[in-house]
Chain A
């Protein structure tokens, strides 16, 4: 409440579109090692900006689920089109990038690549949640305090969560072993409740287009 999203932060928050959008799935996906990718995601400091599970953090956008092809992912890594720093081959090799990509895909609901932590968690998650109950929990448990009542996010406190949320597995990973947000154990939020929240996020309607809002005109 004490601060308002700054211009800079808003810009950074919005840059999440980079890795979320534009699925050009025509490139060959390497058989990366998601387990190693998870480690690299932290070691190479990707998690610092994007959160431990690619959910976005203070200065970086949400990047899972990703529909980017590996080639697009690699292009973004080498020559970012936004304010993300470039990671040249000397910093992150192609093989390492493949592992990180596999990790991100594993959080995105799986792509055939070897999964990291996601399978163990995902196995415990109920297949379907109750969106109505999820909406109640989202308020009662105070999720909205950082992410907004429409899960729209706020640059200073938490990323946008919906519509089109990350996978339940990724969400659970972030709640149980977060980087920035508080740790929510099973005692605090059950797996079933997470599924309900996920269902609520998935049920959110798409927003209007920016061009349809005069105040957002260029």
Chain B
């Protein structure tokens, strides 16, 4: 858009000049020139005017606001979507996005809560591996968003947050805008964001946007905040020597383990009789899966998969029991190494039992500890290890695999083959036993979680499906990386439903059937996300795991009741969602979803899910409310 020199005026500079001009007129009738004070600052003559800087100025239009340039910057970063609840602190940017930017790349997703907008972006990032843009409204909007931001931070997920704010008090409208302004707007989330900035010029905005994006995408990934000052949004883009430019974006290569450490790790692993790999946040892509599988198979080592990295029926996948006999344990981006190799007993006096042999060698490869902060304790308990690499496992695995292969002798190969046969046999038998166990409670009402899992998988297994949240039982055959969410969260409840919507949106362009097992308590935090999904035609199959309680808390209260010897019949007080029970089908229907339920007869569940699958395949969201066993 071409700027009009006649109407495009820097509001702040104009007002400043106008005020000074008025002063100049008052003090001596000299001809005032905007921006050129007629009298020295601080003179006694000027003082009265500065205490009464009013003026009847009428500036009504401009055609190239700073927010247009901000949109140019945003588009250069390649955002597909932005999730936001509207707020006046970014009204100019909002308008520029939908008109100047054409509401494309990014497309505006209307959200009914900032926590939902952040979690939508979080879920999207867990599928796409890159950030979605979110806009938040100054103080109150960021306060709503904060729990979602903490979840994304703990989940090592990149979210790009632009925060409206009005720094200059002279630019604030009286009243509400003062409540919605802060001196240091990003401060309240600084403990759980990776970087933030408050640019004071458009050039500064562009530079910091590039820096923020790069930092968000550097491992460990995390949310970033860029404050967009409202005056900067609404002032015209300079068209002179200060005309801003958009710098080039270059992302960091991921760090790889150093040669000596990789060689030492390979030596320990090859010599080990019972090496065990604990895989945390390792694979960010199908390539990452292939690298982990190749590495595990080179060693024929047991893998404890904490992050959904391996194909779920791979014979090397084992339970934590293998830790007991492990002589070398390799942790790959393990979030809680201490909690994995120890058991903490939840009794009146905490006791800790080691799950591993005292002489076992521990190796850790992770980026997680290259960026931690002090206040929030997401970094888990300190775990001493024998060899630590501050490196990305996915990037390091090829060189580690090569180093391992070079050291494997024929003798070791034979031992590995024996190991592999044992694991394969155990894996097959365990699957059979799981199948035998699944029948217990098969016809129970409320519906058993195993039955729900089996019915859901039976309805989608022949589709190109992706699970967008927790769940999946032994029957589910995960063969592709995208079939699971990656990253995790801080377990802040209310995250799952919007994250599922964000993930389903990411899957939409690939034509995948997004499937979610939706907890009832989680959905009730911000059910308005159902409307967002319907409004934006995001296909998602949600099946309620409706146990009519915050069940984790039921069990905690039971534990305390038992511990305190006060009977065990009041655990439902404050923890359950009964009287009245919530009709989630009606709730979803009211927001534009296809929905059925509540379903209590297990025999009715399968047919209902099949009907919902047909709806989702048409491109709409559908919800089945299944009343279930607690777990």
Task: Please give the residue numbers on chain A whose beta carbons come within 8 Å of chain B beta carbons, in ascending order.
Answer: 1-18, 45, 48-49, 58-60, 80-86, 140-142, 144-146, 148-154, 156-157, 160, 179-180, 182-185, 187-189, 207-210, 213, 215-216, 218
Supposing A5-B631, A83-B322, A149-B446 touch, asked if A11 and B471 sit within 8 A by C-beta, the answer is no
Q: Which residues of A contact B520 (CB under 8 A)?
A: 1
- Among B439, B441, B562, B631, which residue has the most Cβ atoms of chain A within 10 A? B631
- Minimal Cβ-Cβ distance residue in B for A208: B439
User: 6 new A-B pairs (CB below 8 Å) besides A1-B520, A152-B440?
Assistant: A1-B630, A11-B434, A16-B437, A17-B433, A145-B558, A148-B444
Which of B118-126, B548-556, B582-590 binds A? Answer: B548-556
With beta carbons under 8 angstroms apart, the residue of A4, A11, A82 that contacts B470 is: A4
B6 interface residue (CB < 8 Å to A): no
Task: Say whether B455 faces chain A, with CB atoms less than 8 Å apart.
Answer: yes
**Residue contact A3 to B319, C-beta cutoff 8 Å:** no
A59: B residues at CB distance < 8 A: 319-321
State A207–B450 Cα separation when bound (angstroms).
Answer: 14
Pairwise interchain contact A149-B472, C-beta atoms closer than 8 A: no
A-B contact pairs, 8 of them (CB 8 A): A4-B471, A5-B449, A5-B631, A59-B321, A84-B321, A153-B437, A182-B558, A207-B441
Closest B residue to A2 by beta carbon equals B552
Give the one of A1, A10, A185, A213 with max B CB within 10 A.
A1
Instruction: Tell me which residues across on chain A come within 8 A of B470, comparing CB atoms.
Output: 2-4
Cross-chain contact of A85 among B324, B437, B550, B566 (Cβ < 8 A): B324
Chain B, residue nearest A10 (CB): B474
Mark contacts of B426-455 with chain A using CB atoms, 8 A cut-off: 1 yes-contact digit, 0 otherwise.
110111011111111110101011100111
Contacts of B345 in A (CB 8 A): 179-180
CB nearest to B547 among chain A residues: A1
B434 near A184: Cβ-Cβ < 8 Å: no
**Across the interface, which residues of A come within 8 angstroms of B319, CB to CB?**
8-9, 11-12, 59, 83
Selected from B305, B436, B561, the residue in CB contact (under 8 A) with A210 is: B436
Q: A83-B426, A182-B559 are in contact. Are A7 and B472 (CB under 8 A)?
A: yes
Shortest Cβ gap from B372 to chain A (Å): 25
Q: Which residues on A sit within 8 Å (CB–CB) of B435?
A: 14, 210, 216, 218
Could you tell me if A153 and B322 are in contact, using CB atoms closer than 8 angstroms? no
Give the shortest distance, in Å, between B492 (CB) and chain A (any CB). Answer: 10
Q: Are A48 and B353 in contact (CB under 8 A)?
A: yes
The residue among A2, A9, A49, A210 with the most chain B CB atoms within 10 A of its own CB is A2
CB distance from A20 to the nearest CB of B (A): 10
Residues of chain B contacted by A141 (CB below 8 angstroms): 568-569
Which residues of the partner chain B approach A185 to less than 8 Å between Cβ atoms?
A: 562, 565
Residues of B152-192 contacting chain A, CB below 8 A: none
A188 in contact with B568 given A1-B545, A156-B631 (CB within 8 Å): yes
How many chain B residues sit at the interface, stated as a range, is 35 or more
Which A residues are CB-close (under 8 A) to B378? none
Name the CB-closest residue of A to B346: A180
Give the distance to chain B from A125, nearest Cβ to Cβ, in Å.
20
Contacts of B58 in A (CB 8 A): none
Query: Is B355's beta carbon under 8 Å from chain A?
Result: yes
Contact B439 A216 (CB under 8 A): yes
**Chain A: minimal CB distance from B421 (Å):** 12
Asked if residues B562 and A183 are in contact (CB atoms below 8 Å), the reply is: yes
Task: Give B531-557 interface residues, CB cut-off 8 Å to A.
Answer: 545, 547, 549-552, 554-555
Given contacts A5-B453, A144-B630, A154-B449, contact A14 B353 (CB under 8 A): no
Given contacts A11-B434, A145-B551, A140 and B565 within 8 Å (CB-CB): no
Whole-angstrom distance from the CB of B434 to the nearest CB of chain A?
4
Is the beta-carbon distance between B353 and A188 smaller than 8 angstroms? no
Q: Which residues of B contact A3 (CB under 8 A)?
A: 470
- The answer to whether the Cβ of B255 comes within 8 Å of any Cβ in the partner chain is no
The yes or no answer to B473 lying at the interface (CB within 8 A) is yes
User: Which residue in A80, A146, A208 is a CB contact (below 8 Å) of B442?
Assistant: A208
Interface string of B300-312 (1 = CB under 8 A from A): 0000110000001
- CB pair A207–B439 under 8 Å, yes or no, is yes
A83-B321, A150-B448 known; A142 vs B554 contact (CB < 8 Å): yes
Is residue B110 contacting chain A, with contact meaning CB distance below 8 A?
Answer: no
Question: Chain B residues near A216 (CB, 8 Å)?
Answer: 435, 438-439, 454, 475
Q: How far is the CB of B75 from chain A (nearest CB, A)?
A: 38
Shortest beta-carbon distance from A88 to chain B in Å? 8
Is B317 interfacial (CB 8 A cutoff)? Answer: yes
| Inter-subunit contact A145/B555 (CB<8 Å) | yes
Residue in A closest to B520 when the chains form the complex, CB atoms = A1
Decide: B439 and A210 in contact? CB cutoff 8 A. Answer: yes
Does B519 lie at the interface of the complex (its beta carbon under 8 Å from any beta carbon of A)? yes
**A45-B324 CB under 8 A given contacts A179-B345, A185-B565:** yes
In the complex, which residue of chain B has the Cβ closest to the Cβ of A6?
A: B472
**How far apart sit A189 and B561, CA to CA, in the bound complex (Å)?**
12
Closest chain-A Cβ to B430's Cβ sits at a distance in Å of: 4
Chain A residues positioned under 8 Å from B442 (CB to CB): 207-208, 213
Q: Mark B477-501, 1 if CB is under 8 A from A, else 0.
A: 0100000000000010100000000
Query: In the complex, which residues of chain B have a beta carbon less than 8 angstroms from the beta carbon of A81?
Result: 425-426, 429
B629 at the interface (CB under 8 A from A): yes
Contact indicator B558/A149 (Cβ below 8 Å): no
* Interface presence of B318 (CB below 8 A): yes
Residue from B441, B457, B555 whose CB has the most chain A CB atoms within 10 Å: B441
Q: Are B449 and A13 in contact (CB under 8 A)?
A: no
B436, B522, B551: most-surrounded residue (chain A CB, <10 A): B436
Question: Which residues does chain B contribute within 8 Å of A2, judged by CB atoms?
Answer: 470, 491, 493, 519, 521-522, 551-552
A-B pairs, 5 with minimum CB distance:
A152-B441, A1-B551, A182-B562, A154-B631, A14-B434
Inter-subunit contact B439/A209 (CB<8 Å)? yes
**Which residue from chain B places its CB closest to the CB of A209 in the assembled complex?**
B439
Most buried by B among A59, A84, A148: A148
Q: Are B426 and A82 in contact (CB under 8 A)?
A: yes
Q: Which residues of A contact B353 (CB under 8 A)?
A: 45, 48
Is B247 positioned at the interface, with any CB of A under 8 Å from its CB? Answer: no
Residues B426 and A85 in contact, CB atoms below 8 Å apart? no
From the candidates A8, A58, A160, A182, name the one contacting B563 in the complex (CB within 8 A). Answer: A182
Q: In the complex the two chains form, is B436's CB within 8 Å of A14's CB?
A: yes
Q: Say whether, besides A11-B431, A85-B324, A185-B565, A1 and B631 are in contact (CB < 8 Å).
A: yes
**Which residues of B lie under 8 Å from residue A218 when comparing CB positions?**
435
Assembled-state Cα–Cα distance A96/B318 (Å): 27
Whether the Cβ atoms of A150 and B440 lie closer than 8 Å is yes
- Contact present for B562 and A184 (CB under 8 Å): yes
Instruction: Assess whether B525 is interfacial by the CB under 8 Å rule.
Output: no
| Interface residue? B343 (CB, 8 A) | yes
Is there an interface contact between B558 and A142, defined as CB atoms closer than 8 Å? yes
Does B519 lie within 8 Å of A1, measured CB to CB? yes
* Contact (Cβ within 8 A) B430 A152: no
Nearest residue in A to B553 (C-beta to C-beta)?
A: A1
Q: Does A148 contact B441, Cβ atoms closer than 8 Å?
A: yes
How many angstroms between the C-alpha atoms of A187 and B567 in the bound complex?
A: 7
> Is B476's beta carbon under 8 Å from chain A?
yes
> B residues 307-365 with Cβ under 8 Å of A?
312, 317-325, 343, 345-347, 353, 355
